[in-house]
Amino acid sequence: MSVTFIIIACVAVLLFLLITGCPIFICLGAAGAIGIFLNGGISGLSLLQTTVFGAVSKSTLVAAPLFMLMGEIIFRSGIGTNLYNALSRILHRLPGGLAIATVIASAIFGAMCGVSIAAVASIGVIALPEMLKRNYDPRLAAGAVCAPGALAMLIPPSLLFILYGEIAGVSVARLFTAGILPGILLVLLMCGYIIIYELRYSKKHVHEENPDPITWKETAEIIRGLWAPLLLIVGVLGSIYSGIATPTESAAIGVIGAYIIAAAIYRNFDWQTFRATLSHSARITATILIVFVGAVIFTQFLNLLRVPDAFAMFVTSLEMSPWITMLAVQIMLLTLGMFVDGASMILITTPILFPTMKALHWDPIWFGVLMVTNINIAVITPPVGLNLYTLASITRDVDMETILKGTMPYVIVEFIGLLILIAIPQISLWLPGLMR
Amino acid sequence: MLFNHKDLQVRLKHLYYYFKLVIEKANNVAAVAAQWVLFALALIIFYDVVMRYIFSRPTTWVLEISEYMLVFVTFVGAVQVQRKKSHIKMDYFYGRFPLRLCRYLDIFFNIIIALFFLLILLTSLQMTLIAFHYNSISNSLLEIPLVIPYSIVPFGMLLVLLQSIIDIAESVKAITDANLDEKTGG
């Protein structure tokens, strides 16, 4: 059987299963297994013996469930509420102050939590009604909740970076460090957009003063409640950045620290919540790592037939300018990301694109940052924008149309951010370059 | 004939009911086990960090054991994912298909899922048996008999396979029930 036929058959199987709505781990796993079988027969399949076990028994991958558990604890502890309250008190005099507070609170929340919908759910619940009460434009308010929630994927710790690092063979610690400045860049761009919007339309939406503002004394109390979580962020990220601890070790510190903070400071953390954090994280871990196993099987099939190398040769033979290639790749990723979730997208595309990336001398860390930024845009773009649906599911104050219209400007803002990151790789590479 | 057609049907139904009950119980135990293994995973790595940085006495076993624990959380935890149908999928088009097509697709997917789990079960079982036969031990200070960590995968896969067989039965039942409803005008 010709190699070309096998490849076409497997890609056809993959796409058919993907589009009809088959679980993604099966799309990847079945397409990979069929390919391996067509190529090497039954004996070829015995390759899977070591593949499946080896895919998951990796110490770097252990960081993934631990960071998810840490995020889950933070999510259920109520830290998000305090974070938003403190920031909104400090920032409320700025034009669009509450929206800016939402953006920054989501970003800080993202530094404790690696998945994008957690910030939308925990900060959106309090920030959105507060903004609407104070006569903010519902669109602006909805957008300010929806878009920055995705920053959790870019701002370390990030699940996507762990998966990408594992597949591309890049240091997760460096990827985490690389995400910091691009995350800050996107926060600044979003805040800039909010300020410009508010200055332009401030006459239309005059914000009412908070009828019963929290006093500075209360604010001080809230901030006092926040020092521990902030210390946790600094400890976790600082230990990774300084090279004292591996991402896995700092994740374990993060988990224990988060449990202590949740139990000591936030009294609502009881036995049932504790069990819920475990059961939810265990399930999410299995959900994502099963897709990971599927992706490893598919990657093995691709590498067996040297598909990624062939793809790299094809791309370089086109002799396009690297910028055009980069733009084409990003648009392709963006299109795919409109339909597939972030983790699956990384797992499907990284093995195919990696040799191309090497052939064009793109830094894998830089490319990882671009990819995750891209996914940031994807989760707020319909038809499958995870954050859009998350917000719609937690609120009745705004409808889907308002959410969509409010979030669209952020798609443009983030795309501008993506272009800046493409044009200036140093934003992503400067900090990791300083690491030992 | 020992029993007539109807009798057999009733007996089979009972058998299926008990099968489902047993699998459900087993799955619950597996799910809880995966959760506590996850918690233990965080604890032992934290213990390792404390021993290394505070007492300067790094452990020799945590790294290796933590990898096996992750295998456990993934493959035994997969049972819960299968049962709660919380697999990641792209359901944009699926959500727009007619209900009838979705039901047939469900049967089709469940069969592929079962076949895939069967494949992983068989290959990982083969690896486990080989490790058992040759008394392989891990390439580390711990020298753990590899049959122990290796057997986690077939164990988890067996549970998921049984669950996916139930899922096939349920998806077939959904179709026959729907057909029956149509016939009776319900």
User: Does A255 contact chain B (CB < 8 Å)?
Assistant: yes
What is the pLDDT, as a whole number, of residue B155? 94
What's the pLDDT band for B69 if we cut at 50, 70, 90? very high
B127 with A50: Cβ contact below 8 A: yes
Instruction: Name the strand (E) or helix (H) holding B172.
Output: helix B152-184
Q: Which of B163, B169, B158 is nearest to B12 (CA)?
A: B169
Domains of chain B: total = 1
For the residues B13-26, what does the mean pLDDT come to?
90
| B-interface mutation test, from A53, A162, A166, A347, most B Cβ less than 10 A away | A53
Task: Determine the distance in angstroms separating the CA of A123 from the nearest CA of chain B, rounded to an integer.
Answer: 24
What is the pLDDT, as a whole number, of residue B2? 56
B70 with A18: Cβ contact below 8 A: no
Higher pLDDT, A205 or B50: B50
What's the pLDDT band for B111 if we cut at 50, 70, 90? very high
What is the pLDDT, as a whole number, of residue A203? 65
The conformational region for residue A344 under phi > 0 = left, psi -120 to 50 = alpha, else beta, is: alpha
Contacts of A300 in chain B (CB under 8 A): none
What is the pLDDT, as a whole number, of residue A175? 94
Task: Determine the distance in angstroms separating the CA of B138 from the nearest CA of chain A, rounded to an integer.
Answer: 13
pLDDT surpassing 80 at residue A245: yes
Higher pLDDT, B7 or B31: B31
Higher pLDDT, A285 or A208: A285
Portion 108-167 of A in contact with B at CB < 8 A: none
Q: Give the count of beta carbons closer than 10 Å to the beta carbon of residue B132.
A: 15
pLDDT surpassing 80 at residue A213: no
B66 with A62: Cβ contact below 8 A: yes
For the residues A320-328, what does the mean pLDDT come to?
88
pLDDT surpassing 80 at residue A224: no
Chain B residue with CA closest to A44: the answer is B123
Name the most confidently modeled range: A63-72, A180-189, A212-221, A319-328.
A180-189
Contacts of A245 in chain B (CB under 8 A): 49, 53
What is the pLDDT, as a whole number, of residue A36? 92
Higher pLDDT, A80 or B152: B152
Cα of A138 vs its chain's centroid, Å: 25
Computed over every residue of chain A, the mean pLDDT equals 88
Packing angle between helix A386-394 and helix A400-423, nearest 10 degrees?
A: 150
Spatial separation of the C-alpha atoms in residues B112 and B175, rounded to whole Å: 18
What is the pLDDT, as a whole number, of residue A262? 87
What is the pLDDT, as a whole number, of residue A408? 92
Contacts of A272 in chain B (CB under 8 A): none
Peptide bond into A383 cis (omega under 30): yes
For the residues A414-424, what does the mean pLDDT come to?
95
State which residues form the domain around B154. 5-184
What is the pLDDT, as a whole number, of residue B34? 95
Instruction: Read off the pLDDT of residues A330-356 as tens digits, 9 standing for 90 and up.
Output: 999 998 888 888 888 899 899 889 888
User: Does A43 contact chain B (CB < 8 Å)?
Assistant: no
Task: Determine the distance in angstroms separating the CA of B15 from the nearest CA of chain A, rounded to an integer.
Answer: 29
What's the pLDDT band for A388 if we cut at 50, 70, 90? confident
pLDDT surpassing 80 at residue A214: no
B45 with A252: Cβ contact below 8 A: yes
What's the pLDDT band for A395 if we cut at 50, 70, 90? confident
pLDDT surpassing 90 at residue A120: no
Computed over every residue of chain B, the mean pLDDT equals 89
Task: Determine the distance in angstroms separating the CA of A231 from the nearest CA of chain B, rounded to an integer.
Answer: 17
Q: Which two tokens stand for residue A76?
A: 């259920």
A30 with B116: Cβ contact below 8 A: yes
Q: What is the ipTM of this complex?
A: 0.91
- DSSP-derived 3-state class of residue B145: strand
Question: Smallest Cβ distance to B71: which of A21, A57, A281?
Answer: A57
What's the pLDDT band for A207 if we cut at 50, 70, 90? low
Phi, psi of B145 (to 5 degrees): -60, 120
Q: Give the count of beta carbons closer than 10 Å to the beta carbon of residue A105.
A: 27
Task: Determine the distance in angstroms separating the CA of A422 from the nearest CA of chain B, rounded to an integer.
Answer: 29
Instruction: Read off the pLDDT of residues B134-156 as tens digits, 9 standing for 90 and up.
Output: 888 887 777 888 889 999 999 99
Spatial separation of the C-alpha atoms in residues A248 and A235, rounded to whole Å: 13
What's the pLDDT band for A319 if we cut at 50, 70, 90? confident
User: What are the Cα distances from residue A116, in Å, to A215, A253, A379, B186?
Assistant: 32, 22, 8, 44
B124 with A52: Cβ contact below 8 A: yes
B109 with A59: Cβ contact below 8 A: no
What is the pLDDT, as a whole number, of residue B106? 92
Contacts across the A-B interface (CB distance below 8 Å): 179
Task: Determine the distance in angstroms separating the CA of A160 from the nearest CA of chain B, rounded to an integer.
Answer: 15
Name the most confidently modeled range: A35-39, A204-208, A261-265, A383-387.
A35-39
For the residues A408-435, what does the mean pLDDT come to?
93
Packing angle between helix A116-133 and helix A79-91, nearest 10 degrees?
A: 50
A66 with B94: Cβ contact below 8 A: no
Q: Which two tokens stand for residue A325?
A: 């290639």
Spatial separation of the C-alpha atoms in residues A202 and A210, rounded to whole Å: 17
Which residue(s) pair with B145 in the sheet? B137
Question: Smallest Cβ distance to A62: which of B34, B67, B126?
Answer: B67
Task: Determine the distance in angstroms separating the CA of B166 from the nearest CA of chain A, rounded to an integer.
Answer: 17
Spatial separation of the C-alpha atoms in residues A131 and A340, rounded to whole Å: 31
From A4-13, A392-401, A419-428, the region with the lowest mean pLDDT = A392-401
pLDDT surpassing 80 at residue A83: yes
Higher pLDDT, A143 or A78: A143
Contacts of A41 in chain B (CB under 8 A): none
What is the pLDDT, as a whole number, of residue B186? 47
